[in-house]
Each structure stands twice: as structure tokens, then as C-alpha cells.
Amino acid sequence: MSKAADIRAKSADQLAEMLLDLRREQLNLRFQRATGQAEGVARVRVVRRDIARVKTILAEQKSSAASA
């Protein structure tokens, strides 16, 4: 199963919690990068894409709920 399919299987509350966790991780990675402690710079890109994925799926769920 793909990453998007895993995310789609979650409820809106779970997605909101996941988004909050990803944003916290993004903030921590930004601080690590600014202080020169960043080891896995590729993780920044992965977290940013995961945030976009979650936000897209949340928007899809909202639009499908509004049309139903």
C-alpha cells in the first residue's frame, strides 16, 4: 500500500494530529539546521512532502463531505 493510501485510511482527527506532529518535526529540523546539528538533511524534504500529502487529503475529505 502506498503512503497516500495509508493516510487516506485515517480519520480527520488522526490526520489533524499527524499534521501537528509533522509540523513540530519540521520546526525541530529547522532549528537543527540553523545550529549546524542537522545530520539527515533529506528528512526535511520528506517531512515537507508528508505535510503536503496530509493537507491535500484533508481538503479532499472536506470537499467530499460538503458535496455529500
**Residue positions counted in the chain:** 68
Q: What CA–CA distance (Å, rounded) separates 47 from 33? A: 14
Q: Are 50 and 15 in contact (CB under 8 A)?
A: no
Which pTM value belongs to this model? 0.88
CA distance linking residue 27 with residue 32, whole number of Å: 9
How far is Cα 32 from Cα 10, in angstroms, rounded to an integer?
Answer: 30
According to the model, what pLDDT value does residue 2 have? 64
4-53 per-position pLDDT tens digit: 899 999 999 999 999 999 999 999 999 999 999 978 789 999 999 999 99
Domain range summary for the chain, segments of one domain joined by + = 3-67
Whether the predicted pLDDT of 67 surpasses 90:
no
* Neighbour count for residue 58 (Cβ, 10 Å): 17
3-67 folds as Helix Hairpins (1.10.287)
